[in-house]
Structure formats: C-alpha cells, structure tokens
Amino acid sequence: QVQLVQSGAEVRKPGASVNVSCKASGYTFTSYYIHWVRQAPGQGLEWMGVINPGGGSTKYTQKFQGRLTMTRDTSTSTIYMELSSLRSEDTAVYYCARDVLGASRGFDYWGQGTLVSVSS
C-alpha cells in the first residue's frame, strides 16, 4: 500500500536549520512529484514547493527562496526538505504529499506530518 512516512518532531532555535524526511513506499518513486505543505498552529494550509524525484528538479514559492531546499535519494525513495534561518513563524506541521507526473490528480496521499517548533 502507498505510504509516505515522515521523520519525527523537531525543536530548533531561531536561526537554525531543520531537515525533515519523507520516505515513500508502495509505488514507483519516480512517477510522482512530492509536494511540501505546511500548517501553522490554528491556521490554514500553505504550499511550499515541489520536487520531481526522477530528475531532482524543484520549484519553490518565492516566500521561501533562499531558505528552502528539497532533495531526494532515489536509492532509499526518500525526499528531504531543509528549511534554514528558522524564525518563530516557521513553527508549523510540515506535510509531504504526492501527485502524479503529467496531468495532476491532486495530492492523493499525504505523510502524517512533522511538527517543527522554533523557540529560543
């Protein structure tokens, strides 16, 4: 069965970086984009960016340019999302979600979410 399993909760100080992983299983890893979406406490969903696991190409929303990096390891079917220069406003649950390459069919499977807390 399709699964996206994310790494556990993280606590960081302002200015630090965090790396969240998303391990895919149950499908062909390179046939689906992986998107990252975050949700601050009590707030709505915010799309952050996407990676094509096949070639590694990425697209990030401008808000995170320079702070956000997505990478992949095809040998372990794992996607990594690194966010640097953390500030308190980055405290949120971070989700990975997949979408098929080509004509989108929406984000049909999601990871369980990873809480990142930023506090001094």
Phi/psi of residue 56, nearest 5 degrees: 85, 0
Confirm if 90 and 48 have CB atoms less than 8 A apart: no
Phi/psi of residue 90, nearest 5 degrees: -85, -5
Pairing of strands 32-39, 92-100: antiparallel
Closer by beta carbon to another protein, 14 or else 26? 26
66 lines the binding site for another protein (CB under 8 A): no
Tokens of 20: 């969240």
Using CA atoms, how far apart are residues 107 and 47, in angstroms rounded to an integer?
11
Number of residues that bind another protein (CB under 8 A): 24
Binding mask 13-42 for another protein (x = CB under 8 A): ----------------------x-x-----
Binding piece for another protein, criterion CB under 8 A, among 7-15, 22-30, 80-88, 92-100: 92-100
* Interface ranges with another protein (CB under 8 A): 35, 37, 44-47, 49-50, 59-62, 95, 97, 99, 104-108, 110-113
